[in-house]
Amino acid sequence: MSDSLVVVNFKTYQTAHGAAAEDLARVMSGIQTDARMIAAVSALDISAVVATAPDLEVWCQHLDPVGFGSNTGWLHPATAIDRGASGTLINHAEHKVSIEHVAMLLDQVPEGFEVCACAADIDEAKALAALVPDYVAVEPPELIGGAISVTSADPEIVSGTAAAVREVSEQVGILCGAGVKTGEDVATAIELGTSGVLLASGVTKADDPESALRNLVSEL
- Residue 151's pLDDT is 83
Question: Is 95 noted as a catalytic residue in this protein?
Answer: no
Annotated active-site residue in 57, 114, 124, 139: 139
pLDDT band at 140 (very low <50, low <70, confident <90, very high): confident
Model confidence pLDDT, tens digit, residues 62-95: 999 999 999 999 999 999 999 999 999 999 999 9
In 3D space, the residue among 102, 138, 88 whose CA is nearest the CA of residue 118 turns out to be 138
Model confidence pLDDT, tens digit, residues 162-185: 999 999 999 999 999 888 889 999
- Residue 206's pLDDT is 94
What average pLDDT does the structure give for the chain?
94
Give the Cβ contact number of residue 157 at 10 Å: 23
In 3D space, the residue among 165, 125, 160, 119 whose CA is nearest the CA of residue 140 turns out to be 119
**How many domains is the chain partitioned into structurally?**
1
Domain that holds residue 113: 5-216
Annotated active-site residue in 92, 95, 124, 210: 92
pLDDT band at 1 (very low <50, low <70, confident <90, very high): very low
pLDDT band at 143 (very low <50, low <70, confident <90, very high): confident
C-alpha span between 173 and 195 (Å, rounded): 6
In 3D space, the residue among 30, 123, 137 whose CA is nearest the CA of residue 94 turns out to be 137
Question: Is 124 noted as a catalytic residue in this protein?
Answer: no
pLDDT band at 204 (very low <50, low <70, confident <90, very high): very high
CATH number at residue 92: 3.20.20.70
